Chain A
Amino acid sequence: MFALLGLTPDLFALFVVFGFMVGVFFGFFGMGGSFLVTPALLILGYSAPVAIGSSMAFVFGTAVIATMKHHDSGQVDYRLGALMFVGIALGIEAGSRLVFGLEVLGVAEAVVGVAYVLVLAAIGLLFTRSALNDGDETGGDGDEANDETDGETGGGDEVPAIAQKVQSYEVPPMMTLADGQRASLWTISGVSAGVGVISGFLGVGGGFVRMPAIYYVIGTSLAAAVGTSLFTGLLSGGVGAFTYGRAGVIDLGIVTALLLGSALGARIGSGATAYVDEDDVTVYFGLMLLVASVAVALGEAAAWLSMPVLDRVSFVLLVGSALFVCATILYHGALAVRRERGPSPSP
């Protein structure tokens, strides 16, 4: 079976474990699904089109699973998702053409790698700074931190102030969203195209950009933003998988192994959100992304300087940091379950 999928048992097992870790992040944070996969594949020596194409197909499969879960809770705005799909599809086409063009020039790996370093570092800084600020403002109490967040947005189900300001510029044509809010089609188109270009170029699902963009720019409730983001992730992942599939660069062995792990990890990560205070681990997630950006930079340096040892250091950093955060989530989850269900509270 492994021979049919074209992977050695060791590599297959590695992808299952890595997929599990990514699934835990996806389930717990609602983002972070794929932007670890593409760098890992690049570090393992796969070409940029194979790494991005396989990552796209993996995102598509994970989004199918996640959307099925959110559909049951009625958290998906299908009309908004379908509209965003148009802009995202055009953006992905532009982004993937850019990658293939860079491949012809022989610089795709370098450019995608550098872009990854910058994106990972930026998101890592955002997460870390946000988590540390929350800790400072509330004295590290997670519940208070949540209250603060709710206060800024007027409650978890309300539209944030930024989105209200964007919605106040009524540039026709306007459309009514599933939760009653109104948004300009120009805003929706711009957000969609931008997310699509990032998806196609970096081979990421774009959830870490898409979900906040729907919430903060288009302006829906948080629950609808997550569900709709997952649905558009499904559509954009499908387009990306089709585009790269036509080029014959999707490795089904990699996708299958990753999905085997991520489907389980996503369930556990989703379950952990009911027990673990997100602020307890967000700072680790931010730091992990910063470490990942260093890892990708080392991977690029290994190629430029012809120093294979940097490749190994890079891979250990990437997997090690992901493993650490995954273990932290599971550890906090187990502690919380013990506190809530144990015979006596821990001292």
Chain B
Amino acid sequence: MTGTELLPGASPTVAALAVIGVVVLEAVLLYAGYGVVEDRLGPVVFRRIARR
């Protein structure tokens, strides 16, 4: 799916900005999401590796 398909009829500049906006949003959400996962699961994973 390209920016043009995301916003049909939009100008190339608007479509490009929309693509950049989507990528930034995804990056921020993934950074925050994986941060929460790391905080919760990190110590458990380390303990399990250490026990083996």
Contacts and interface: CB of A to CB of B under 8 A. Distances in A.
Partners in one complex: yes
A324 to B, nearest CB: 21
Nearest to A3: B1
Interface string B4-45: 111000001101110110111011101100100010000000
B30 A242 contact: no
B15 A246 contact: yes
Contacts of A57: 19-20, 23
B2 A250 contact: yes
Contacts of A238: 20
Interface of B: 1-6, 12-13, 15-17, 19-20, 22-24, 26-28, 30-31, 34, 38, 46-47, 49-52
B31 A65 contact: yes
Contacts, number: 96
A61 to B, nearest CB: 4
- Most chain B CB within 10 A, of A65, A249, A260, is at A65
Nearest to A261: B30
Interface of A: 4-6, 57, 60-62, 64-65, 68-69, 238, 241-243, 245-253, 255-256, 259-260, 263-264, 267, 334, 337-338, 341-343
A119 B34 CA distance: 33
Contacts of A242: 16-17, 20
A6 B5 CA distance: 10
A264 B34 contact: yes
A250 B3 contact: yes
A252 B15 CA distance: 12
A246 B27 contact: no
A61 B4 contact: no
B27 A61 contact: yes
Tell which of A69, A252, A259 has the most Cβ of chain B within 10 Å: A252
Given A246-B13, A263-B30, A252 B6 contact: yes
A337 B43 CA distance: 12
A267 B27 contact: no
Contacts of A68: 28, 31
A246 to B, nearest CB: 4
B33 to A, nearest CB: 8
B50 A343 contact: yes
Given A57-B23, A252-B1, 15 more contacts: A62-B27, A241-B16, A245-B19, A246-B16, A248-B4, A250-B19, A251-B1, A251-B2, A252-B22, A259-B26, A337-B50, A338-B52, A341-B46, A341-B49, A343-B50
